[in-house]
Amino acid sequence: MFRRLRIQFIVAATVAVIVMLISVICILNASKYAVSENRINKILDLLSENGGVLPDEDIVEKILGRKTNSDIIIQYRYFSAQVDKSNKVITMNTANIANLSDTDVVFYVKKILLGSKTYGSFTTTEGQKFAYKFNIDEVDESKLIVALDTTRYSEDRADLIETSVFIFFSNLVFFIIIFVIFSGKVMMPFMENYRNQRAFITNASHELKTPIAIISANNELCEMLGGENEWTQSTKEQIQRLTELINRLVVLARFEEQTSVAAININFSGIVEKSSKSFKSIAIKGGKNFESDIQKDICISGDENAIYELINILIDNANKYCDEGGTIGVKLSQQGITFKKAKLVIYNTYKEGRKVDYSKFFERFYREDKSHNSSISGYGVGLSIARNIINRHKGKIHITYKNDMIYFNIYFNMVSNIEEK
C-alpha cells in the first residue's frame, strides 16, 4: 500500500515539476520571441522611414531603447529597393548586405511584390532568413521595399530552445532523484505508525478471543441452569458480533501483510454459486427476495479462499442493508471478446441510497449509519477487506445507484482454464 502511495506521490510531484518547468520555459521563449520580433519591426520601420538606410546613432538608440554605436549599426545586414508603379526596380541599396548580388536582390524583391503582405518574411536558397516591409507612395504609387537579415535572431531563438530543453530534462531528472530519495524518508513515520497499528489490531484480536470464549461459556452455563431468556439471547448475539469483528480484523491484517497473492486458476462461477446458495436461505428467512444469474465456467486467477471471503462479504453486506421485502441479487457474466473480463454484480434494494456518499464506502470502519443504536450489525470493516482483496487480485470495483437499487460492480481478468491442485 505504501509503495503505491509513494509512487503516486513521486508521480504527482513530478507532474507538478513538469508543469512548472514547461510554464517557465514557455514564458521565457515567448518573451524572447516577442522582444526579438519587436526589435525587428522597429528596425524595419526605421529603414522604411529613412529611405532604406538606418539613421544616425542617436535616433537608432532612442527608437531601440538600448546603447548604440557605429560598430553596432554596421552589424545590421539589410537591403532596400525602390520600384515604380509597374513594379520595375528603379534603385537599390545593397551596401549593407554582402552575400546577395544585385540579381538576387531583384529576384527577392519581385517575390515580395507577388504577395499582398506589407510585412512578411522569406528564406533564401542558402538558408538566410529575412524580414521585410514595403510602403506605397500615395503620390506616384512607387514602393520602397526594405529587408532585414534576421538569421541571427532566429539562431538566438533556436539556441534558447535547445538550452531550454536541456535545462528541462536535467532539472526533471534532478527533481525525480530528489523525490525518490526524500519520499522514502517522508513515508517512514507513516509506515511505522501503520505497522504498529496493524500489530495492535492483530494482538488485540488474539487477546480478545479468550475473554469472549469465557463469556460465551458462562452464557451457555446460565442457559443450562436457568433456561434461555432475552438476556442470554442478547449476550449470545453480541458475542457473535464481536467474534465476527475479530475474525474480520484478523483477515484484514493477514491480507495487508501479504505482499503478493498465491494465485492459481480457479472456477469463479463455482465460488459465486457456492456463496450465493449459503445466503439464499438467510435472505428468504428475513423476508427478502433472492435472485441469481450466474454464467457457468468463468475462470479467474487468484486465491480461492480470498475470493470466497470477498463474495461472502459483499453478499452479507447486501443482505444487511437490503430494505425489508426488497431484493438481493447476484449476477456473473463475461464481458469482452479479445480481452475477456468476469463481471460480478451484487445488488440490493436500498431506497435511502440517493443521499449516500459512496466514495467513503471502502474506508476502514466507515458506516453510513453512524448511530450506535443501529439495528444493522457491523463495524465498517468488511468492505475495506473486500477492496483489499480486489486490489491484490488486480481487479476493479465501483458502486452505482439506480431505481432504488445499489449495485456493486466487480471486474476481474478471465483465464481460459482451471489449474489442477
Q: Output the pLDDT for position 412.
A: 94
Residues 6+ apart with CB under 8 A from 253: 198, 201, 202, 205
- Of 2-11, 55-64, 226-235, the range with the highest mean pLDDT is 226-235
Q: Is 131 exposed, middle or buried (0-12, 13-18, 19+ CB in 10 A)?
A: buried
| 415 has a pLDDT exceeding 70 | yes
Closest to 33 in 3D by CA, of 153, 132, 189, 167: 153
Cα distances from 200 to residues 97, 101, 311, in angstroms, run 84, 89, 27
- Of 25-29, 50-54, 64-68, give the lowest mean pLDDT range: 64-68
- Of 27-31, 35-39, 101-105, 138-142, give the lowest mean pLDDT range: 138-142
Q: How far apart are CA 9 and CA 181, in angstroms?
A: 12
- Of 12-21, 138-147, 352-361, the range with the highest mean pLDDT is 12-21
> Taking the chain, what is the end-to-end CA distance rounded to the nearest angstrom?
30
pLDDT top residue among 110 and 364: 110
pLDDT tens column, 200-221: 766 776 677 778 888 888 888 8
Q: Output the pLDDT for position 239.
A: 83
Note whether 279 and 316 are within 8 A (CB).
Answer: yes
* Host H or E run for residue 325: none
**Which residue spans of the chain are classified as CATH 3.30.450?**
77-149
Strand 341-349 to strand 264-267: parallel, antiparallel, or no bridges (unpaired)?
Answer: unpaired
| 69 has a pLDDT exceeding 70 | no
Q: Which residue has the cell 459483499?
A: 314
Q: Which residue has the cell 522569406?
A: 122
Q: Output the pLDDT for position 207.
A: 74
* Host H or E run for residue 409: strand 405-415
pLDDT tens column, 360-387: 777 655 555 544 344 444 445 678 888 8
Residues 6+ apart with CB under 8 A from 202: 249, 250, 253
| 65 has a pLDDT exceeding 70 | no
Question: Coil, helix or strand for 68?
Answer: coil
| 50 has a pLDDT exceeding 80 | yes
Q: Output the pLDDT for position 366.
A: 52
| 421 has a pLDDT exceeding 50 | no
pLDDT top residue among 344 and 339: 344
**Percent share of the chain, pLDDT over 90:** 29
Q: Output the pLDDT for position 375.
A: 47
Q: Output the pLDDT for position 9.
A: 82
Cα distances from 109 to residues 47, 115, 147, 365, in angstroms, run 16, 10, 9, 81
Closest to 313 in 3D by CA, of 405, 248, 364: 248
Q: What is the mean pLDDT of residues 186-191?
A: 74
Note whether 318 and 348 are within 8 A (CB).
Answer: yes
| 47 has a pLDDT exceeding 70 | yes
Q: Which fold has domain 77-149?
A: Beta-Lactamase (3.30.450)
Q: Output the pLDDT for position 358.
A: 74
The amino acid sitting at 350 is Y
- Of 42-46, 132-136, 279-283, 409-413, the range with the highest mean pLDDT is 409-413
Cell output for 235: 449476550
Q: Which fold has domain 261-415?
A: Heat Shock Protein 90 (3.30.565)
pLDDT tens column, 218-268: 888 888 888 888 888 888 878 877 887 777 677 666 666 665 666 789 999
Cell output for 226: 436457568
Q: What is the DSSP letter of 287?
A: T
**Which residue spans of the chain are classified as CATH 3.30.565.10?**
261-415
pLDDT band at 10 (very low <50, low <70, confident <90, very high): confident
